[in-house]
Amino acid sequence: MPALSPTRATALLKKMRGRRVLVLGDIMLDEFIWGRVGRISPEAPVPVVQVTGESFHLGGAGNVAANVRSLGGTPSLAGVIGRDDAGRRIEESLGDAGIASCLEISETGRPTTVKTRVIAHSQQVVRTDREEASDLPAQTEAALIEAVRRELPSAEALVISDYQKGAVTAPLLRKVLPLARRRRVPVLVDPKRRHFRLYRGVTLVTPNQVETEQATGIPLDGEEALVAAGRRILALLACRAALVTRGEHGMSLFERGEQPVHVPATAREVFDVTGAGDSVIATMALAIAAGATLPQAAALANCAAGVVVGKVGTAQATPQEVLAALRTGP
């Protein structure tokens, strides 16, 4: 029997409407340069892209918030941007999307993180990153912690989106996680290796395959290794659950005291994996806030990821798309 029927999914998606999710982490601007390739450069063996357009989208923690919004939730976003054109674009995009934010603007010359992707014929040709990934200055960090302290009382879930760009620091985690625990707010983390052990006691972590291998030291070369790695994460972090995202193999849920649940991928075609992890954790947060069991939340998140990878560029899923993907099945 499937973990989630269309009837239960419909009910959960309705209950997800308006749920308040606080997203904390590395905010970035995703820039896409669109074009077509008709020849190879005579100067070097690289394609020449004839540019036909460009677009800008919320990325990183911003895309998590955008996914919460697209699914009907009420997100608020806490993070840091630079005093630059990219930062202004992010503020405009948040306003256009109706996403509340408590942004700290760096006064130290720290730029907004920008990822630029060149896309030709629906395929990514190259990506460039402009960023300053060192930890935030103490003053900016303190202001961000205070912003979280203000926003947390109204949150029904907290998502920490750690892209290792400097917004999520060890001192910040040591302050924020106890605040969430005292208020019994579920904490979901999209983790990076550097801070992995600092996520101890959170509700859920969502590492991908590489992050799982790095955190556990176990190569994921089969189901037995996968199960061992999932259980090791639970032991290392004393967390309620770990959801290991596995690309075309779907995802695997490890919940304390329960048997592993393997959820097959639903995507029919994969055009772009950009932001798939953002859609997963946004859906998980909303579903948990709405009262879903973790297997039910994982089933919804898997469908949301399947929708997103079927689109080109940084994208989000809607409730209607998630429900259609669930009904279609893998």
**Catalytic residue list contains 278:** yes
Q: What pLDDT tens digit does each residue of the chain (330 aa) get?
A: 346 899 999 999 999 999 999 999 999 999 999 999 999 999 999 999 999 999 999 999 999 999 999 999 999 999 999 999 999 999 999 999 999 998 988 878 899 999 999 999 888 999 999 999 999 999 999 999 999 999 999 999 999 999 999 999 999 999 999 999 999 999 999 998 788 999 999 999 999 999 999 999 999 999 999 999 999 999 999 999 999 999 888 899 999 999 999 998 875 565 556 678 999 999 999 999 999 999 999 999 999 998 988 887 778 899 999 999 888 876
Q: Which of 30, 162, 272, 278 is catalytic?
A: 278
Q: Domains plus CATH for the chain?
A: 6-29+58-114+131-328 (3.40.1190.20)
62/182 Cα distance (integer angstroms): 26
And the tokens for 288?
Answer: 């948990």
- Give me the sign of the Cα torsion angle 212, 218, 222, 226: negative
Find the DSSP H helices in the chain: 6-15, 61-70, 85-97, 138-151, 170-182, 209-216, 223-237, 276-289, 294-309, 319-328
Question: 3-state DSSP helix/strand/coil percent for the chain, to nearest 5?
Answer: 40, 30, 30
Taking each helix axis from N to C end, the angle separating 276-289 and 61-70, rounded to the nearest 10 degrees, works out to 50
pLDDT tens figures, 94-128: 999 999 998 988 878 899 999 999 999 888 999 99
- Give me the sign of the Cα torsion angle 233, 80, 31, 165: negative
Q: pTM of this prediction?
A: 0.93
Q: Are strands 241-245 and 204-205 parallel, antiparallel or unpaired?
A: parallel
State the number of CA atoms in the 13 A half-sphere of 295 facing the CB. 14
DSSP letter at 208? B
pLDDT tens figures, 128-147: 999 999 999 999 999 999 99
242/280 Cα distance (integer angstroms): 12
